[in-house]
Structure 1
Amino acid sequence: MADLSSELLTVPLDDLMAEARRLRGLGTGTLVTYSPKVFVPLTTLCRDVCGYCTFARPPRRGERAYLSEEEVLAIARAGVEAGCTEALFTLGDRPEARYRVAREELAAHGCATTLEYLARCARRVLEETGLLPHLNPGVMTRDELVALRPVAASMGIMLETTAERLATRGGPHWASPDKVPARRLETMRLAGELAIPFTSGILVGIGETREERIDALLVLRALAREHGNLREVIVQNFRAKPGTRMAGHPDAPTEEHLWSIAAARIVLGPDVHVQAPPNLAYDDFPQLLDAGIDDWGGVSPVTVDHVNPEAPWPQVERLREACRSRGLELAPRLPLYPEHVADLDRWADPAVAPAIRRASDAQGLAREDCWAPGAPVEVPFIVARDPAPVGLVGDELGETELVRLFSARGVERERVFASADRLRRETCGDAVTYVVTRNIQYTNVCYFRCGFCAFSKGKLAANLRGPAYLVSEGEIVRRVEEAWERGATEVCLQGGIHPAFTGDYYAGVVSAIREAVPRMHVHAFSALEVWQGAATLGLDLETYLARLRDLGLGSLPGTAAEILDDEVRAVICPDKVTTAQWLEVHGTAHSVGLHSNVTLMFGHVERPVHWARHLLRAREQQARTGGFTELVPLPFVPMEAPIYLQGRARRGPTFGEALLLHAVARLALHPLITNVQASWVKLGPDGVRQALAAGVNDLGGTLMNESISRAAGSEWGQELPPEQMEELIRSAGRVPRQRTTTYGAPPEEQVRRSFGAAPLAEPLNPPVREAGLRRPARLLRPAALTG
């Protein structure tokens, strides 16, 4: 400690701040965060009498001791309307130990303690509004922390100082038993043992020395390293307030505050977030960035800072401007940091984790918009057309570079979009292609239990949409014939895997279609369906795929890929094909002359590193076999998905994430996969227009019938006929062009038929029981047969 203290005390301030900025860059790069919050002053009574505090005050005649539950909820609901994610509960320490009015009012609420009432209010805020409570109730015992953990996303207590001399008579902490450093440190230690995400900090300028600040920071560093729960340290400057014992004490000088922030960053290192409240720096708040902070703390568009009501928070746009003036980007966060969000099973109570996931983006930050795939809401922003591109493409982009691009925000994000758009123009021109196709989901019965699927039916899915059905072979053929008459060149077949299906079922469907409509391209069967078909017949993949090819199969859709990373698949589809099996099916298909595409479903439990690995595996496979025609990013539609309803998944990607996935895919896969498709079913028309400015050159199929996304809750689906498809493409300033499945030119006759096509006849989906299929004695599951 002596060496560190000596160094910090002797290094010039400018050098100290430069080193702090360097360390910040190692930790959070160019990202600076803030928490959109509401401030809930549950009670201003406190048994302590700190010499500088105006928040705590004695009871006043005619005033209640505590906010009512309805007042708390009104504040929280106003926060929801304003886009907040945090409800910061601030209150005095154990007022019932000092004031009879507090004891009486608590008794009227049916509570024995302030912390019991706090738990009740926080639970109601969490359950009724979805805001994430962050609790600052002061010193707590182990039992009290345990009782509050199920209603809090995080908690905090300011250490302020380790200088016990400041609690002697006349000092700022005199007659304040809860400000004894050892008691506060014990609360933090217990919170660490209980895996409660925690915030602490120091108070600068109340009479402590620089050496004592360093001592406090070293103690906090030790706690952070021991338990991992302390991820944020606040460096707050003292401001004298009229009416307090310290009203005549000078404010902390700006230089002392900046020195303390820089010292905190250097002591704590790049992995602990350092915060300084911008409102207490007044118009000088941008200087806090120069000292190495990476977080502004809570900023409220609804409530004042009740601890410092004389100091209003700067508007978020001013914070953003300050960040950009220094080459930094501002982003909203949750009351717990991404390091904790990445492992909620450890860091969040099961009662709180679902709300955290709903509020989180893929990086563990707060969602920056209210957009969700398939939801009928306006897109949050318009893609700019003129930023300078980022430059890297193809195999220049490894996992680290891709993850960095996926984390881009603000100006850097616009540069990623511009790079993808320029590369798209160079590679594909201004044409936007689409295929006239009909989707046929032949059954919604499936013995696999994918957590994201709201389409399949089974014993555990009785609450999901529609009864169990199985389309007959004759009805499939009728739909194919109707599609051909309406100008289709492709029919896409996928469905659940009925327990009675064998490889002969899929072969029979292909054969029937080829016999009835020999010129129709059959784009059919996911990797899981192919794997199950081969396994039930005891055939190797090459033999089985060659048989399907000879019967008329034209290509494979890239579905069942989800995320090509087994860490994610173990959560969302544990009994489905593994990453290696998916790649093997498609590699084998390519070897027998069948093209396929590759999909990527994102916005559920995965993180950007998994997107990167998926793209890299697709790129490696394409380099080996060359059979992928396009990449199709598929935003997760959450509304009816079991894994979302169970609170185990996010609310789909944000709009920014959705566009970044398309744009980064364009850069990462060049020149091996030249087509990037956007799903109009998932993005909606307005989202598609923006995707077309972010590297997309294809809009997939017109569909005619599409029920999988609709079952998951998407507003869009069913059909986008050529007239509307081309109007959408032209509205984005691009040139529409019909294509075949493999990107050739369709027959002119089919193109003519596709415009002004007659309405579809009502499809028949007969109950599955009418098929008379029998369940086999043993169901085959790929995960059980790996290796």
Structure 2
Amino acid sequence: MVPSMHAHVGENEDVHAFDSLSKSLGNLALPRLIAQAEEMTLAATSGVVTYSRKVFIPLTQLCRDVCHYCTFASTPKKIGPAYLSRGEVLAIARAGVAAGCREALFTLGDRPEDRYDAARKALARLGHPSTLSYLREMAQAVLGETGLLPHLNPGLMDDADYVALRPVSASMGLMLETASDRLSAKGGPHHGSPDKLPTARLTAIAAAGRAGVPFTTGLLIGIGETRVERIEALVAIRDLHREYGHIQEVIIQNFRAKPGTRMASHPEPSLEEHLWTIAVARLILGPQMTIQAPPNLHRPEELAALLRAGVNDWGGVSPVTPDHVNPEAPWPHLDALEAATAAAGRVLRERLAIGPAFARDPDRWLDPALARVVRRSVDARGLPVVDDWHPGTGEPMPVERVSGTTVRSDSLRAILDRATAGDRLAPSDIVRLFEADGPDVALVADAADALRREVAGEAVTFVVNRNINYTNICLYKCGFCAFSKGSTRAERGPAYRLDLAEVGRRAAEAVERSATEVCLQGGIHPDYDGNTYLDVLRAVREAAPSIHIHAFSPLEVTHGAMTLGLPLENYLTRLKQAGLSTLPGTAAEILDDEVRALICPDKVNTNEWLEVMRTAHRVGLRTTATIMFGHVDRYEHWARHLLLVRDLQEETGGFTEFVPLPFVHMEAPIWRKGGSRSGPSARETLLMHAVARLVLNPLIPNIQASWVKLGGDGAVAALRAGANDLGGTLMDESITRAAGGQNGQLCDPARMASLAALAGRHARQRTTLYTTTQTDTLILAGE
């Protein structure tokens, strides 16, 4: 229980400190307040402003409270049936789905059965003891039959209520509105509304925190409270969030006088008053808090001022249903809202009913079934992927090149200048590049492409090669891998092991088909030891003496050395003597043990992977480097990975190229179990190629685009964003196909030339080590 507002403030901040805070905020001129709030907001949001595309489902307009400004609450005589029927609820939800909505906002009065006999009788006919019970059934129906994520606003609830509703909702909400008890006294706007007592509301918000519910709350300003009382309410919200971490957004809503209410003639707060409160909220609640203001309660020309004051969310905007709480204020069209947001130098992006910070940690904040849905829906920021593109699906990759600038463009240019000069970027700089959105995506991509032109020229290179995956039987259980089989029995397809004669035959056939390279990789078969890999090399070398053998991931190398009891350097030397030419830099996934513990806990760790690469370079074996991204990782993990690769390259100079590999999710075990995202978004995929070019400059000159993962459109987009290489023709590609990839198993030289032409460039065949082939082959589209 929260016994009183002053006692609550005193839990973390004594009265003197509170008075000091109020005085310091009160002494700041509004322009200075806004400047500080804007700086704080931009530091955490990258200029992105979110909104939720939703439908409003007014389950009941009956309420036991009588707020003097409310037009939502009604009486049985005015509204007819006390509750929407199941059919009516689902009809609204399905209309929302058809309009591209992702959220169903249930609005309803507070426990109307406590006041109205009509509500009690209606519930009895519906077979429910309470409004909350019926709400649970309807939320479950909407979630199960339409896929919309419910957000529930049912009023005061206790611990048991939250526990009951949590499995059927992505988030819930309750406006604190005010910290002022006197507004509930006779003559005040909350007189006769027991659910509006601040102590009762704070108690309910605390209960939501104990239940682990992502929660929305906020203030309603201009109903008679003072500025000090607003500060008191914001401090109370801040302290509850510090204790439970569950406040996902705080709404600063301005009172609007409505005809037909007791407060119809009450003055509305000025824009200046609203801006002051928003800025103070930002300063009190901090940079990470989402602060919302309803865009339909201001003129379009005023929205930029709200953003400068600290707003980074517009709340729910419905293309289907009206704002039932403020019916006199229609929602702005989304195109107009996007234009107003862009005019303020921000980028408008859709979010889910659960805020992005909470969507990034769904296991903590959601029941398992909902966690799976949310995790599969979002990118690494926790924002929904709205273009429906995923790596490997064969669908065209949408490439958004938006002109203009944002409030972050100048600071990004400073980072780009340092990268272009070859400076080592800080991890935070790299994260900011990955956060680029809207026009800033083109800014980063163009900088990377200009650097590519300077470093690697206009040729799009490729190697003619063949994949030989000699076994798919593997002792390891990497969560992302659909290729490996755990035994000789069929699991997700037939298991196999090629004999040495077949490996040699395929290598010889590759030479006949003009390949200059064979790429050899397989699972860690339980019968394999270090001699097996040596035998594979000898079989290939005997069958195809001239072929370049690009073989064995660091996991295979480590396994081979361990089984023979040899140091890495000795074993790698033996592999080289047996015919190994270069090593693929696979098994890197994400070079961060926090991520590896989730996706490949029994595999080589970060330091072990780096040590294999370091040792290979020392014995004269060049290698590639890869990243496999878009599963459980975040931008800070990508930044660390890139810097580890850069630092090792500065030490050894042994990497020939860097290969971004977007996670293909369809058949991956970790995705099928609901444990990963559905691959990176198109924006993230494009940026990975661009940012890799920038971060690794000037140490690694070649950035490869994987046509297998990206498809043709995606490969062309990557070529326009810093990539200069398309990898290999990959006769018999099987690993991505096993994961559900639909982009084929061969990209022949003519197709390579066509992709290069689409990017405005020409194709050139290369060797594995990026020298020209004997004929210095220039491949033209159509040949």
Question: Scaled by the length of structure 1, what TM-score is found?
Answer: 0.92
CA distance in 2, matches of 1:233, 1:749: 63
Name the SS of the counterpart of 2:374 in structure 1. Answer: helix
Equivalence for 1:12: 29
Name the SS of the counterpart of 2:121 in structure 1. Answer: helix
Equivalence for 1:609: 636
Equivalent residues of 2:765, 2:776 under 8 A apart = no
Equivalent residues of 1:235, 1:274 under 8 A apart = yes
Equivalence for 1:585: 612
Matched, 1:338 2:364: no
Equivalence for 1:494: 521
- The alpha-carbon deviation at position 29 of structure 1 amounts to 4.2
CA distance in 2, matches of 1:640, 1:358: 13
Question: 1:467-616 alignment to 2 at 5 Å?
Answer: 467-616=494-643
Q: Taking structure 1 as reference, are residues 322 and 750 closer, same or farther at Cα in structure 2, changes over 3 Å only?
A: closer
Greater mean alpha carbon deviation, residues 164-173 or residues 537-546? 164-173
Name the SS of the counterpart of 1:416 in structure 2. Answer: helix
CA distance in 1, matches of 2:118, 2:390: 47
Q: Taking structure 1 as reference, are residues 114 and 93 closer, same or farther at Cα in structure 2, changes over 3 Å only?
A: same
Equivalence for 2:374: 356
CA distance in 2, matches of 1:376, 1:537: 43
Equivalence for 2:152: 135
Name the SS of the counterpart of 1:182 in structure 2. Answer: helix
Matched, 1:716 2:751: no
Equivalence for 1:312: 330
Deviation per CA, 1:227-268, whole angstroms, max 9, x where unpaired? Answer: 221232111011112222222223222222222212222232
Matched, 1:660 2:701: no
Q: Taking structure 1 as reference, are residues 72 and 492 closer, same or farther at Cα in structure 2, changes over 3 Å only?
A: farther
Match for 2:765 among 738, 742, 758?
738
RMSD, aligned α-carbons: 2.3
Equivalence for 2:15: none
Equivalent residues of 1:383, 1:694 under 8 A apart = no
Match for 1:453 among 436, 461, 481?
481
Deviation per CA, 1:720-761, whole angstroms, max 9, x where unpaired? Answer: 111112112112111100111111122339999x999xxxxx
Question: 1:160-559 alignment to 2 at 5 Å?
Answer: 160-283=177-300, 284-383=302-401, 390-393=416-419, 394-458=422-486, 464=492, 466-559=493-586
Q: Taking structure 1 as reference, are residues 661 and 94 closer, same or farther at Cα in structure 2, changes over 3 Å only?
A: same
**Alignment length (residue pairs):** 754
CA distance in 2, matches of 1:588, 1:48: 73
Deviation per CA, 1:591-639, whole angstroms, max 9, x where unpaired? Answer: 1111111110011000000000000000111111111111110000111
Contiguous gaps of at least 5 residues in structure 2 = 1-17
Q: Taking structure 1 as reference, are residues 475 and 54 closer, same or farther at Cα in structure 2, changes over 3 Å only?
A: same
Equivalent residues of 1:132, 1:355 under 8 A apart = no
Q: Taking structure 1 as reference, are residues 75 and 534 closer, same or farther at Cα in structure 2, changes over 3 Å only?
A: farther
Question: Scaled by the length of structure 2, what TM-score is found?
Answer: 0.92
Matched, 1:40 2:57: yes
Greater mean alpha carbon deviation, residues 423-432 or residues 727-736? 727-736
Q: Taking structure 1 as reference, are residues 532 and 396 closer, same or farther at Cα in structure 2, changes over 3 Å only?
A: closer
Opposite residue 228 of structure 1, the aligned amino acid is G
CA distance in 1, matches of 2:556, 2:698: 30
Equivalent residues of 1:526, 1:557 under 8 A apart = yes
Opposite residue 391 of structure 1, the aligned amino acid is D
Q: Taking structure 1 as reference, are residues 89 and 584 closer, same or farther at Cα in structure 2, changes over 3 Å only?
A: same
- The alpha-carbon deviation at position 214 of structure 1 amounts to 1.9
- The alpha-carbon deviation at position 60 of structure 1 amounts to 4.6
Opposite residue 418 of structure 2, the aligned amino acid is L
CA distance in 2, matches of 1:605, 1:721: 33
Q: Taking structure 1 as reference, are residues 693 and 169 closer, same or farther at Cα in structure 2, changes over 3 Å only?
A: same
Matched, 1:159 2:176: yes
Deviation per CA, 1:107-152, whole angstroms, max 9, x where unpaired? Answer: 3443222222222222333344443322111100100111112222
Q: Taking structure 1 as reference, are residues 329 and 515 closer, same or farther at Cα in structure 2, changes over 3 Å only?
A: same
Opposite residue 464 of structure 2, the aligned amino acid is V
Opposite residue 363 of structure 1, the aligned amino acid is R
Equivalence for 2:9: none
Contiguous gaps of at least 5 residues in structure 1 = 757-787
CA distance in 2, matches of 1:463, 1:174: 67
Opposite residue 374 of structure 1, the aligned amino acid is G
CA distance in 1, matches of 2:773, 2:603: 35
CA distance in 1, matches of 2:678, 2:54: 20
Equivalent residues of 1:488, 1:750 under 8 A apart = no
Deviation per CA, 1:387-424, whole angstroms, max 9, x where unpaired? Answer: 99632214331211101111111122211101100000
Q: Taking structure 1 as reference, are residues 602 and 382 closer, same or farther at Cα in structure 2, changes over 3 Å only?
A: same
Q: Taking structure 1 as reference, are residues 474 and 74 closer, same or farther at Cα in structure 2, changes over 3 Å only?
A: farther
Greater mean alpha carbon deviation, residues 55-64 or residues 422-431? 55-64
Opposite residue 306 of structure 1, the aligned amino acid is H
Q: Taking structure 1 as reference, are residues 52 and 386 closer, same or farther at Cα in structure 2, changes over 3 Å only?
A: closer
Question: 1:109-124 alignment to 2 at 5 Å?
Answer: 109-124=126-141
Equivalent residues of 1:86, 1:131 under 8 A apart = yes
- The alpha-carbon deviation at position 384 of structure 1 amounts to 6.5
Q: Taking structure 1 as reference, are residues 669 and 112 closer, same or farther at Cα in structure 2, changes over 3 Å only?
A: same
Equivalent residues of 1:487, 1:751 under 8 A apart = no
- The alpha-carbon deviation at position 579 of structure 1 amounts to 0.6
- The alpha-carbon deviation at position 65 of structure 1 amounts to 2.8
CA distance in 1, matches of 2:668, 2:87: 33
CA distance in 2, matches of 1:34, 1:613: 31
CA distance in 2, matches of 1:382, 1:165: 53
Deviation per CA, 1:518-550, whole angstroms, max 9, x where unpaired? Answer: 111111111111111111121121111111111
CA distance in 1, matches of 2:473, 2:777: 33
CA distance in 1, matches of 2:530, 2:101: 52
Name the SS of the counterpart of 1:352 in structure 2. Answer: helix
CA distance in 1, matches of 2:43, 2:754: 47
CA distance in 1, matches of 2:258, 2:751: 64
Question: 1:613-628 alignment to 2 at 5 Å?
Answer: 613-628=640-655
Equivalent residues of 2:657, 2:700 under 8 A apart = yes
- The alpha-carbon deviation at position 378 of structure 1 amounts to 3.2
- The alpha-carbon deviation at position 193 of structure 1 amounts to 2.0
Opposite residue 434 of structure 2, the aligned amino acid is F
Equivalent residues of 1:85, 1:366 under 8 A apart = no
CA distance in 2, matches of 1:462, 1:347: 37
Q: Taking structure 1 as reference, are residues 429 and 338 closer, same or farther at Cα in structure 2, changes over 3 Å only?
A: same
Equivalence for 1:777: none
Equivalence for 2:756: 729
CA distance in 1, matches of 2:460, 2:403: 18
Q: Taking structure 1 as reference, are residues 432 and 60 closer, same or farther at Cα in structure 2, changes over 3 Å only?
A: farther
Equivalence for 1:98: 115
Equivalent residues of 1:383, 1:693 under 8 A apart = no
CA distance in 2, matches of 1:72, 1:433: 57
Percent of pairs identical after alignment?
Answer: 58
- The alpha-carbon deviation at position 3 of structure 1 amounts to 2.5
CA distance in 1, matches of 2:683, 2:509: 39
- The alpha-carbon deviation at position 338 of structure 1 amounts to 3.4
